[in-house]
């Protein structure tokens, strides 16, 4: 297993890291046109609009929300994907934010150093997003007859689509085994869940750039890619996420 150096921070080191991340966030916001700071809390409406502008509208794909009656029956993803009034798939939108949460023990004495082990927040956060989306897809598409598309509009500073690849596939070491950031049982769970998603779309709201990825064995990857104008076989695909 890959040992993440961030998992063994002392509380003091964690505080210093949190401050550094805050400073980087502030610098990034200040460098934007106008130099003003945008509202930090992403809104579903803004992310939905961005997804439509960048990905769906150019391919004439229309989002349709589930009705109140449908949602009253249980979980649903965010949208149905329609093209020419025909249901062509389902879409779940996730907007992950910075997941660094440092809780300080209340019983620390002056001058005392405390070490705590904490899991990698990036991989665990993305794993939860994937798992949650699959539960929503399975509720309306249990037989996986139509494509499932997970759109991630990332609001976490410093996080990129590479983190999604690492979460799903680990890190390939030259002449060595693949290293994973999740515990073995958890990695298997997420790898199996990811097979229920036919296409991942990663959107950076700051640069307005979007990228795609898909599990090598995604059932409807060709249909999902064709829906949004992606040529299958492009280098953006993700390798088989099954742990070795």
pLDDT at 43: 75
List the single range of 111-120, 161-170, 194-203, 207-216 with lowest mean pLDDT. 111-120
Per-residue pLDDT, 157 = 82
Report the first-to-last Cα separation within the chain, whole angstroms: 12
- pLDDT for 193: 93
Structural domain includes residue 236:
no
At 171, the pLDDT band (50, 70, 90 cuts) reads: confident
Boundaries of domain holding 118: 5-227
| Average pLDDT estimate for 42-49 | 84
Instruction: Give residues with Cβ within 8 angstroms of 87, minimum separation 6.
Output: 80, 81, 146
Residue 233 lies inside a defined structural domain of this protein: no
Q: Is residue 238 domain-resident?
A: no
Strand order in the sheet with 62-65: 62-65, 79-83, 86-94, 148-153, 199-204, 209-213
When divided into structural domains, the chain yields a total of 1
Residue 11 lies in a domain: yes
Stated length of the chain: 244
Confidence of residue 88 (pLDDT cuts 50, 70, 90): very high
- Rounded distance, CA 98 to CA 177, Å? 30
Burial class (CB in 10 A: 0-12, 13-18, 19+), 62: middle
140-178 burial by CB neighbour count: b if 16+ within 10 A, else e?
bbeebebbbbbbbbbbbbebebebbbbbbbbeeeeeeeb
Helices (H), 52-180: 68-72, 121-140, 161-169
Q: How many other CB atoms are found less than 10 A from the CB of residue 93?
A: 21
Split at pLDDT 50, 70, 90, the class of 123 is confident
Helices (H), the chain: 11-30, 44-51, 68-72, 121-140, 161-169, 184-194, 221-227
pLDDT in tens, 182-239: 888 999 999 999 999 999 999 999 999 999 998 888 899 999 999 999 987 654 544 4
In a domain, 201, yes or no: yes
Name the band, by pLDDT with cuts 50, 70 and 90, for residue 121: confident
Residue 113 located in a structural domain: yes
In a domain, 59, yes or no: yes
**Range scoring the smallest mean pLDDT among 97-106, 110-119, 174-183, 190-199:** 97-106
Please check whether residue 69 lies inside any domain of the structure.
yes
- The CA R_g of the chain, rounded to the nearest whole Å, is 20
């Amino acid at each position: 297993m890959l040992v993440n150096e961030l998992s063994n921070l002392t509380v003091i080191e964690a505080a210093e890291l949190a401050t550094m991340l805050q400073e980087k966030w502030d610098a990034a916001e200040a460098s934007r046109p106008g130099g003003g700071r945008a509202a930090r809390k992403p809104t579903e409406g803004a992310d939905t609009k961005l997804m439509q502008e960048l990905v769906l509208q150019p391919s004439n794909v229309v989002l349709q929300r589930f009705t109140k009656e449908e949602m009253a029956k249980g979980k649903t993803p965010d949208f149905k994907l329609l093209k020419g009034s025909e249901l062509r798939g389902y879409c779940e939108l996730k907007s992950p934010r910075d997941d660094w949460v440092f809780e300080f023990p209340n019983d620390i004495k002056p001058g005392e150093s405390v070490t705590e082990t904490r899991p990698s927040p990036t991989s665990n956060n993305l794993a939860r997003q994937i798992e949650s989306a699959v539960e929503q897809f399975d509720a309306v598409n249990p037989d996986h007859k139509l494509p499932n598309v997970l759109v991630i509009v990332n609001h976490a500073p410093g996080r990129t689509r590479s983190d999604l690849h690492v979460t799903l596939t680990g890190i390939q070491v030259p002449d060595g085994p693949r290293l994973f950031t999740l515990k073995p049982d958890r990695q298997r769970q997420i790898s199996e869940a990811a097979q229920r998603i036919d296409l991942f779309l990663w959107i950076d709201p700051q640069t307005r750039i979007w990228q795609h990825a898909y599990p090598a064995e995604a059932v409807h990857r060709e249909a999902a890619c064709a829906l949004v104008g992606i040529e299958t076989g492009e280098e953006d695909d993700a390798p088989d996420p099954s742990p070795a």
